[in-house]
Amino acid sequence: MEEDANFMNEINNLAMKRNTAFWKREMSEEILAEFGAEDEITLSPAQTTGVISEKYPPLFDDVPKMLREFEKSIAAMQKSKYYKIFDDKVKIPTAWPELQFGNGIAGAIFGGKLAVTSTKNHTYTFNEPVIKNWDEVYKLKFDKNNIWVKRILEALKYFVKNGTKDFLILPFFIYEGADFIVSMRGTTQAFYDLIDNPIELKALYDIGRETGIKFFEMKREIIKEHNERILNNKEYSDLAPLHCVPLLDMDAYALCSPDIFEKIGFENKQKILNHFKGGSFYIHALGRHILPIAAKLENLTQFWLFDDPKCPRYFEDRINLRKITNDIPLQMYCSLKEFANALNEKSLPGGIKYNIFTGGEKISTDETNLLLEKIKSYRTSKLAAKSSYHNR
């Protein structure tokens, strides 16, 4: 058992070393890879849900049960064939208790009424609009004693104090910018506001940004020492998105013109990235039009690119994406077959982490680890590198 643990520590340390170099933009000619579940190739992560039913109570109402269920899942994960593939995924179980409080918390912490629905394994929340007229904007204030703020902080503390296995704990992303406006004003009105761009909109942006920073720092303070102990790698834990630097929202901007993000959202995002000296985005395929503008942001750790149904896939446009995003670390999804073909063709641009789904294809652990040897020795060819920021 001790030998197995030491071996896994070596594997995790190598993965952390490679991810750290990736985030520091030192892998412009190299690639990273993670292997994932067989049935997710055609689905974006947002779609991997269960049946919503009123019979399921919100998971945040029973935090001890949430912890027990998570720890039960660890054994299954460690028995998975993906756990035995020595790719660039750090194989330390990760808990995300705050995710079960849902997006509606952004409005609930300012008094917005919360609507809750659940599946067996996940809780979703939405909030009714908080700001009905603009005079109310200047009365908004982040209250650390708000019931939802306290419940989230207590949930994180409970996981830190009562966990019986080694696992990492992640906070939720910073909910600011256009997504915050949607929570405060309601979806339809928010998009009118973004177009009209009144002076009060900037005030609301400021509140969202300042609240997001403060709340993230409060959560990070609770989990930071715990995560650093588990990781035992300070450079990795200081750079890793969510562990130490935030994930920022981009959902609402996907439905806006590039001008909206450039004129209204860009500056707000830059202030957050400057504050934390890092941070990352997830951008769905519907929002690919904002990538060239977002790529101009400084202190950006990573773009995480999600495919959507009936949209062009990021992987198929990987060489062009590498060009328009300069040297920013990218993460995207592909099938095993198309990845293997591109690997043989040497048409994989560097500075990208490829999430590879087998799509039901049979592949042994030994075969996969042989493929990983090719991945770790891979260097970009002229075909893949000609669009690279470092090789133009």
- The mean per-residue pLDDT over the stretch 312-341 comes to 94
The per-residue pLDDT for 381 is: 74
The per-residue pLDDT for 5 is: 75
The band of 247, judged by pLDDT with boundaries at 50, 70 and 90, is very high
The per-residue pLDDT for 384 is: 65
Domain hosting 141: range is 2-391
Interval 332-376: pLDDT, tens: 999 998 999 999 999 999 999 999 987 666 777 778 888 999 999
Q: The tokens of 3 are what? A: 């030998």
The per-residue pLDDT for 83 is: 82
User: Which of the residue ranges 80-84, 111-115, 132-136 would you say has the lowest mean pLDDT?
Assistant: 80-84
- Residues 6+ away with beta carbon under 8 Å from 342: 318, 334, 348
- The mean per-residue pLDDT over the stretch 204-231 comes to 96
The per-residue pLDDT for 364 is: 77
The per-residue pLDDT for 369 is: 81
Location of structure tokens 């979806």: 187
The per-residue pLDDT for 44 is: 39
- The mean per-residue pLDDT over the stretch 127-150 comes to 93
User: Which of the residue ranges 5-9, 36-40, 271-275 would you say has the lowest mean pLDDT?
Assistant: 36-40
CA distance 104 to 344: 46
Q: The tokens of 303 are what? A: 């773009």
CA proximity to 347, closest of 386, 299, 296, 295: 386
The band of 388, judged by pLDDT with boundaries at 50, 70 and 90, is very low
- The mean per-residue pLDDT over the stretch 293-300 comes to 96
CATH number at residue 355: 3.20.20.210
The per-residue pLDDT for 47 is: 44
The per-residue pLDDT for 72 is: 92
Mean pLDDT computed over every residue of the chain: 89
Number of domains in the chain: 1
The per-residue pLDDT for 1 is: 62
Interval 82-108: pLDDT, tens: 788 889 999 999 999 999 999 999 999
For residue 81, the Cα-to-chain-centroid distance in whole angstroms is: 24
The per-residue pLDDT for 40 is: 40
Q: What are the residues facing 330 on neighbouring strands?
A: 303, 352
The per-residue pLDDT for 8 is: 87
The per-residue pLDDT for 389 is: 36
The per-residue pLDDT for 372 is: 92
HEC string of the chain equals CHHHHHHHHHHHHHHHHHHHHHHCCCCCCCEEEEEECCCCCCCCHHHCCCCCCCCCCCHHHCHHHHHHHHHHHHHHHHHCHHHHCCCCCCCCCEECHHHHHCCCHHHHCCCCCEEEEECCCCEEEEECCCCCCHHHHHHCCCCCCCHHHHHHHHHHHHHHHHCCCCCEECCCCECCHHHHHHHHHCHHHHHHHHHHCCHHHHHHHHHHHHHHHHHHHHHHHHHHHHHHHHHCCHHHHHHCECCCECEECCCHHHHCCHHHHHHHHHHHHHHHHHHHCCCEEEEEHHHHHHHHHHCCCCCCCEEEEECCCCCCCCHHHHHHHHHHCCCCCEEEEEEHHHHHHHHHHCCCCCCEEEEEECCCCCCCHHHHHHHHHHHHHCCCCHHHHCCCHHHC
As to burial, measured by CB atoms within 10 angstroms (0-12 exposed, 13-18 middle, 19+ buried), residue 108 is buried
With beta carbons less than 8 A apart as the criterion, state whether 142 and 212 touch: no
* Percent of the chain residues past pLDDT 70, beyond the cut: 92
For residue 261, the Cα-to-chain-centroid distance in whole angstroms is: 20
With beta carbons less than 8 A apart as the criterion, state whether 20 and 339 touch: no
Kindly report the backbone phi and psi dihedral angles of residue 169, in degrees, each rounded to the nearest multiple of 5, phi listed first: -125, 125
The per-residue pLDDT for 37 is: 58
HEC string of 326-342 equals CCCCEEEEEEHHHHHHH
Kindly report the backbone phi and psi dihedral angles of residue 246, in degrees, each rounded to the nearest multiple of 5, phi listed first: -85, 160
Using the predicted structure, report yes or no on whether residue 232 has a pLDDT greater than 70: yes
- The mean per-residue pLDDT over the stretch 109-118 comes to 93
The per-residue pLDDT for 259 is: 93
Using the predicted structure, report yes or no on whether residue 61 has a pLDDT greater than 50: yes
Interval 9-54: pLDDT, tens: 899 999 999 999 999 999 999 999 999 855 443 333 444 457 887 7
CA proximity to 391, closest of 374, 379, 378: 379
